[in-house]
A and B are shown apart, each in its own frame.
Chain A
């Protein structure tokens, strides 16, 4: 079976600095990949490359476009890339304020993607938004409220609903639980796991929290100084790390 995403040798330099270097991997439909590593190791850079927010200096990123097979993303027009980003993909920002429109209601936030792809029936858009608010455990009665009045955890759930409403096949998440209280984190992780399983989502999740990776990811990609130093099944890597850096990462978590 051909993969959903095939990444070959992508790199990004920021002048002297290496953002990330020579990263390759494949991701299959329904598979969750966690990208872990210390601060500055290139996790966010990788995510931005994958989602075509920034262009890669080298290599290629191919994606299984419905009806077209594996397509090099660099060969898609800007309009096609945009279409992917708002229909087949999702992008969950670490800070929900960056991923939401804070000046329009929760319902409008969830409905935006539907309207962007042509939904023109107010009642249906609203019903779908109501469903999604409930799915992410937000009170549907707050559909007309601005997200500014929501807690951080509620905003993050709203951002997730806003992304999933078009039923994407692939979701990118950059530290989706990082800014939240521990108890809120745990509930959000459970919710994410349920949604990913129910919807058969493929996901690339950036985190520096190995517990998050353990809970959500099938596979792990360990990065250091922009390079992938180890990759494998999550349990395998965490229980029996091969690379000294991974061993250090795992050990430092265990010590806490």
Chain B
């Protein structure tokens, strides 16, 4: 028992063993029924809801001493939320952490899936604010549960129809609804739809935790994940006119960064690890500091 303790006095990874077992049982059920939302007895965590308490409980339940943890928020490892969660597990579990995607065994994330392809040795843990994809259309949970039970997803298409009628295209750009394994409709959490194709047939196990709503769900490795669409309005991902201004990548999700108050701006990789890795390998973009470029001469 004492071996479960860390120097902070908490049990390993903060949660007590019984709670972790309970969450692991829920996760096993979630893996057995891909995309199905499994209720679990969410615990109070030393963070407010909305800060990833669902994801943290999932990570705490699956974390082992040899795991290497990476935490992403908005694609970046150094935002406040990511730093706090990483520090939380460093203190309560004493596990190694990393910013390098390929070195991590568990990646807890809010908003992004890493650009580097994942492997069978990795587990993604998503923080989910709103697990019910039809929640905005049908607020009653008894009703949405029945719709899931009967695989009755016309309502979701009504929403997509309405988008096209109103805006000429499907307006959702993040948390874009998917059908998992041809059966359950699932909210992929607020990742950009750019990342949806990465959910499909991923070699990594993908776990989703919603703390406030007390739900976990999962996509097992190599599972079909389709983004909903219409035949004449097929699903498509965001594209940018320019490559990343720092590493020149043309295949990554870009964030707009304001440079000055004169309206200067640039587009850079949202995945900071991907961008750094590329820069270290010598890739450059239009705003790269080194080498001094022609623009300066001009």
Contacts and interface: CB of A to CB of B under 8 A. Distances in A.
Given A107-B165, A144-B165, A144-B166, A79 B150 contact: yes
A123 B150 contact: no
Interface in A106-149: 107-108, 111-113, 115-117, 120-123, 125-126, 143-144
Contact of B161 (A78, A117, A125): A125
B171 to A, nearest CB: 14
A153 to B, nearest CB: 23
Interface in B151-182: 152, 154-155, 157-159, 161-162, 164-166
A126 B234 CA distance: 16
A187 B130 CA distance: 46
Contacts of B233: 122
Contacts of B295: none
A4 B180 CA distance: 39
Contact of B165 (A101, A108, A112, A116): A108
Nearest to B170: A122
A120 B152 CA distance: 14
B150 A101 contact: no
Given A120-B230, A121-B231, A144-B166, A115 B150 contact: no
Contacts of B296: none
A78 B162 contact: no
A125 B230 CA distance: 10
Contacts of B166: 105, 144
Contacts of A105: 162, 165-166
A128 to B, nearest CB: 12
B266 to A, nearest CB: 36
| Interface SS majority for chain A | helix
A215 interface: no
Interface of A: 78-79, 82, 101, 104-105, 107-108, 111-113, 115-117, 120-123, 125-126, 143-144
Given A79-B150, A105-B166, A144-B165, 10 more contacts: A78-B150, A111-B158, A111-B161, A112-B154, A115-B157, A115-B158, A116-B154, A117-B154, A121-B232, A122-B233
A113 B157 CA distance: 10
A122 B161 contact: yes
A79 B148 CA distance: 11
A113 B154 CA distance: 7
Given A113-B154, A116-B152, A122 B230 contact: yes
Nearest to B159: A104
Contacts of B165: 105, 107-108, 126, 143-144
Nearest to A82: B150
B170 to A, nearest CB: 10
Residue from B155, B164, B165, B232 having most chain A Cβ neighbours under 10 A: B165
Interface of B: 150, 152, 154-155, 157-159, 161-162, 164-166, 229-233
Residue from A105, A120, A122, A125 having most chain B Cβ neighbours under 10 A: A122
Contact of A115 (B154, B229, B231): B154
A107 B161 contact: yes
Contacts of A116: 152, 154-155, 157
Contacts of B150: 78-79, 82
A108 B158 contact: yes
Nearest to A114: B154
Nearest to B165: A144
B161 to A, nearest CB: 5
A122 B164 contact: yes
A131 to B, nearest CB: 16
A117 to B, nearest CB: 8
Nearest to B166: A144
A115 B152 contact: no
Contact of B158 (A78, A112, A123): A112
A233 to B, nearest CB: 39
Given A105-B162, A108-B165, A122 B232 contact: yes
A162 B164 CA distance: 19
Residue from B158, B166, B231 having most chain A Cβ neighbours under 10 A: B158
A112 B137 CA distance: 13
Contacts of A122: 161, 164, 230-233
Contacts of A121: 230-232
A104 B230 contact: no
23 contacts: A78-B150, A82-B152, A101-B158, A104-B158, A104-B159, A105-B162, A105-B165, A105-B166, A107-B161, A112-B158, A115-B158, A116-B152, A116-B155, A116-B157, A120-B157, A120-B230, A120-B231, A121-B230, A121-B231, A122-B164, A122-B231, A126-B165, A144-B166
A104 B165 CA distance: 10
Contacts of B159: 104
Nearest to B153: A116
Nearest to A104: B162
Residue from A104, A113, A117, A125 having most chain B Cβ neighbours under 10 A: A104
Given A82-B152, A115-B154, A123 B161 contact: no
